[in-house]
Amino acid sequence: MKKTLITSTLFLLIISCSESSSENKPLVENTVDNADSSIKNSFESGSRYEQNMIDKIYSELIKNDKKLSTLDDKILKAYENQRKVLEYYNVVLDKSDGYYQDAIHLTNTINDSILKHQIENEIRANSEKYNEKTRNIQNLISRLNKNEQDINSFYTAFKIRKTLPKIEKYQNAHPLKTNSLENFIKKQNQLLNELKNLK
């Protein structure tokens, strides 16, 4: 008898929950249809972890705004051009650094301590001479990288400001009411009371 009562109570609880969720579906779907298209498309394009929400919403805004699209193209080109400009310098500088590291490593295999010390001094002098020769290049590269970080920071701030009103529209179009939660809690409490009173 007790098992039958518990089983039937759980069955009724599950049915009532599925009914209430199916009742809510048309309302949610209608709300999504009425929501801003940039938000709607952003949420429909897959898992939130595939791309952050700001970029998803912003990419939808770009589709309908020529100025935003032009700005985005300009920034992407700046990143690409920087990569191309730095590529040659990085190859030369990295090869030089690699050479000195290999030279120091090989120097450790020299058995004669006097010769080893002489070679270490020669490597150090040559490395310092090259560092002095390329100091201005290194400073310019540092400035270029700093500018890229600043551009990225300001553009990120701009994208957040442009998308904040869109997420607000989405939130307003999807009001979170307490009815379903409260009804479910009532049913849970009823089940809890029945279980507590079982003997």
List pLDDT tens digits, range 101-153. Answer: 999 999 999 999 999 999 999 999 999 999 999 999 999 999 999 999 999 99
Q: Give the pTM.
A: 0.65
SS3 176: coil
**Tokens encoding 133:** 């020769």
Q: How far is CA 197 from the centre of its chain?
A: 51
Q: What is the 3-state secondary structure (H, E, C) of 5-58?
A: HHHHHHHHHHHHHHHHHHHHHHHHHHHHHHCCHHHHHHHHCCCCCCCCHHHHHH
Question: pLDDT by residue (tens digit) across 143-199?
Answer: 999 999 999 999 999 999 999 999 999 999 999 999 999 999 999 999 999 999 987
At 40 the pLDDT is 61
